Amino acid sequence: MTSAPELGDFLRARRARLRPRDVGLPDHGERRRVAGLRREEVAQLAGVSVDYYTRLEQGRATGASGAVLNAVARALGLNTEETRHLHQIAHPPLHRTSAAAGPIGSAARPTAGPASGPAAPADPARDTPVRPSLLALLASMEEVPALVLNHRRDVLAWNRAASALLTDFADLPPGERNLAWQSVLGDRMRRSMLNSADCVRGNAGYLRLAAGRHPDDARLTALIEELSRRSEEFRRRWAEHPVADKSSGVAKFDHPLVGRMDLTYETLRAVGDPEQVLVAYTAEPGSPSRDALRMLLSWTADGSPVRIP
């Protein structure tokens, strides 16, 4: 069983980004009707027949072996995350809820967003509560903005520093208490993030991976469709089929209270629940960003050290 449209869209997107010279094939300079490699060139590189690769791209080749998928991944120059994603969408879970029937395609269909209706996930265990020990760790990080997210990027818990830096999550409707939603559609975060385009691209890549792991999650589907419907930039990035789990990097802020800050973010997975992660933002010691962050936290020192919905 395959998620046929998702698999076909992904393979075509990756095929389109390559040129013959990228993979060691002769390039005679002829004009091509479409960008990228031809199907027969991918089939040649993967060591499969053109007919089989065509059927695979069209979702008509069921039960593709791991060896064949790995050969196709090598032919298309996929990295580790992209290869894992290829296997996931080629062999999705057999159970799918009716609310999430059909894969999430590159052009999402307009539906209500997660705040518009009670779309329950197929497996309630995916929304397990945050462990008390993790909440205690979050509260102890008084000078480090930190929050706990699930696979949908829902904000499950956050400390006071995270509210001061990003947005006041406690004041948000439940459907908007989501880091991807706020990064793409939230006014405050979009205004304060200087590398917002990178952030949109990163969220699209992360959600693409999550959709491959959880094709039956109706709330995840609704979130992606809302972002695609309301943000042209997200819709364009989503159509590129990005696949990325960027767990660390630099977030650049122009905060309305303290100005420019360059903060390093790091993502740590919770032991026992790999779908929960803790994201923390830190500034280089002795840097202007560190001074600005300390000033911001000193001005917002009132209130509970940690919040959960």
Structure confidence by residue, pLDDT tens digits, 45-74:
999 999 999 999 888 877 788 999 999 999
81 burial (CB, 10 Å; 0-12 / 13-18 / 19+) is middle
Q: How many CB atoms lie within 10 A of CB 23?
A: 16
Q: Over range 225-238, report the average pLDDT.
A: 96
Distances in Å between the Cα of 84 and the Cα atoms of 90, 154, 245 are: 10, 23, 12
CATH superfamily of 4-94: lambda repressor-like DNA-binding domains (1.10.260.40)
Q: What is the pLDDT of residue 308?
A: 58
Task: Tell me which of 200 and 307 has the higher pLDDT.
Answer: 200
One of 3.40.50.970, 3.40.50.300, 2.40.50.220, 3.30.450.180 is the CATH number of 129-307, namely 3.30.450.180
The whole-model pTM stands at 0.76
Task: Tell me which of 281 and 79 has the higher pLDDT.
Answer: 281
Q: What is the pLDDT of residue 272?
A: 75
The pLDDT of residue 97 is above 50 = no
- What's the DSSP call for residue 287? S
Q: Over range 169-181, report the average pLDDT.
A: 94
Please list, in sequence order, all residues whose beta carbon lies within 8 angstroms of the beta carbon of residue 170, skipping any fewer than 6 positions away.
Answer: 163, 307
The rounded distance, in Å, linking the Cα atoms of 141 and 161 is: 8
Q: What is the pLDDT of residue 112?
A: 31
Please, what is the average pLDDT of the chain? 83
Domain locations in the chain as residue ranges? 4-94, 129-307
Q: Percentage of the chain surpassing pLDDT 70?
A: 83
Q: Percentage of the chain surpassing pLDDT 90?
A: 56
